[in-house]
């Protein structure tokens, strides 16, 4: 029966192949050949930055140098000693898993393809709409300031709001702390963006990638860069792959306990006038176990435009980017198919 109709429209949210546990990959889930993920990919050499002592002036100088190098050469780094207890990370992952294990009716009220919804359960990118589908389930939720949004979040499992809320607050604080080091590394000073991020948006995406029977044919997410200034990723097992700046091949980002990945997003590339580059990444699947990741995207307010810092624009470095806001990004993805290669960043380049 499964074989009869395998076009995207046969897999609406709630009834996708990944939710139904298909034993084969339907035609509309097959990624373009050039995008497919190798399962035996070489490990990426991702800088591992120890944030311990970031408030101590001499240590801070070293950390800022390491962050500057990573933003310039890798578009991604990992952080340890970030100050977030392991129990907060584990609590968020375990309540995420409990949420996706709920019966369909508990999740149905969040199901939506409208990218403007502040809380939504979805599958793929835009399910049933985009040409190619992805083997992914997600819950996306606005998270900052927490008291404005938490009332809209799922209230089952019973500890969801408390555990995910604790995680969200910790990520927002960490993102500001890291962004302060980044703007300092750009010569803009540590508080250049602080109040704009405090008044900005945080989108928490909880991703669930069920086992895929033919992981070499499909993807969890297609190649993309994040629209954000900064993205902080927690992965419970490997699957994230990044495009190496040097040799332009995909490499696997290791998953280590207690370690968080920090991505340079499109809006940081814009702010830095191209000095730092956002990192292109995708998600590979596996046939054995469900993989979870929690992705925290940090940007300015919904309608606040990000532009290249005036201090980084001069005759030798003309402004390379148009200004844009988070809303501009949402409007872009509602009309474009990232799985087909559309890139928000490309629309910003002058
Ligand atoms: C994302 C993303 C990576 C992952 O949600 O934008 O890149 O490992 N996720 O799930
Ligand atoms: Ni991403």
pTM of the model: 0.96
The b/e string for 3-34 (b: 16+ C-beta within 10 A; e otherwise) is eeebebebbebbebbbbeebeebbebbbbeee
pLDDT confidence of residue 270:
98
* pLDDT (tens digit per residue) in 39-64: 778 999 999 999 999 999 999 999 99
Query: Residue 281: CB within 6 Å of ligand 1?
Result: yes
pLDDT confidence of residue 113:
85
Give the number of the atom of ligand 1 that is nearest the alpha carbon of residue 282. Answer: 7
* pLDDT (tens digit per residue) in 108-148: 999 998 888 999 998 877 666 677 889 999 999 999 999 99
Which ligand ends up closest to the CA of 240?
A: 1
Q: How remote is the CA of residue 317 from the centroid of ligand 1, in Å?
A: 32
Half-sphere exposure of 14 (CA within 13 A, CB side): 12
Q: How remote is the CA of residue 2 from the centroid of ligand 2, in Å?
A: 30
What are the residues whose beta carbon lies below 5 Å from ligand 2 (ion)? 226
Concatenating the DSSP letter of every residue in 160-176 gives HHHHHHHHHHHHHHHHH
Give the number of the atom of ligand 1 that is nearest the alpha carbon of residue 205. Answer: 5
Choose among 98, 127, 99: nearest CA to 113: 127
């Amino acid at each position: 029966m499964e074989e009869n109709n395998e076009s995207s429209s046969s897999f609406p949210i709630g009834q996708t192949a990944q939710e139904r546990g298909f034993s084969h990959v339907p035609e509309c889930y097959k990624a373009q050949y050039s995008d497919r993920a190798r399962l035996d990919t070489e490990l990426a050499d991702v800088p591992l930055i120890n944030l311990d002592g970031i408030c101590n002036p001499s240590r801070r100088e070293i950390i800022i140098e390491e962050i500057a190098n990573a933003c310039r050469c890798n578009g991604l780094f990992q952080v340890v000693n970030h100050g977030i207890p392991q129990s907060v990370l584990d609590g968020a992952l375990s309540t995420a898993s409990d949420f996706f294990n709920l019966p369909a009716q508990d999740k149905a009220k969040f199901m939506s393809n409208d990218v403007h919804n502040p809380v939504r359960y979805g599958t793929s990118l835009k399910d049933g709409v985009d040409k190619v589908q992805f083997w992914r389930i997600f819950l996306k939720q606005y998270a900052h300031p927490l008291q404005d949004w938490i009332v809209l979040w799922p209230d089952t499992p019973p500890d969801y709001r408390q555990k995910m809320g604790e995680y969200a607050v910790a990520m927002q604080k960490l993102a500001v702390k890291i962004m302060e080091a980044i703007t300092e590394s750009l010569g803009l000073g540590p508080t250049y963006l602080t109040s704009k991020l405090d008044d900005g948006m945080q989108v928490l995406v909880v991703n669930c990638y069920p086992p895929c029977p033919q992981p070499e044919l499909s993807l969890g997410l297609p190649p993309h860069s994040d629209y954000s200034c900064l993205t902080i990723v927690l992965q419970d097992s490997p699957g994230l792959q990044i495009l190496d700046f040097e040799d332009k091949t995909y490499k696997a980002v290791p998953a280590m306990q207690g370690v968080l990945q920090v991505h340079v997003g499109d809006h940081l590339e814009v702010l830095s006038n191209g000095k730092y580059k956002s990192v292109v990444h995708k998600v590979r699947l596996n046939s054995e176990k469900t993989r979870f990741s929690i992705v925290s995207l940090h940007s300015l307010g919904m309608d606040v435009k990000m532009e290249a810092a005036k201090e980084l624009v001069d005759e030798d470095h003309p402004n390379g980017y148009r200004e844009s806001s988070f809303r501009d990004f949402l409007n872009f993805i509602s009309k474009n198919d990232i799985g087909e290669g559309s890139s928000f960043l490309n629309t910003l380049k002058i």
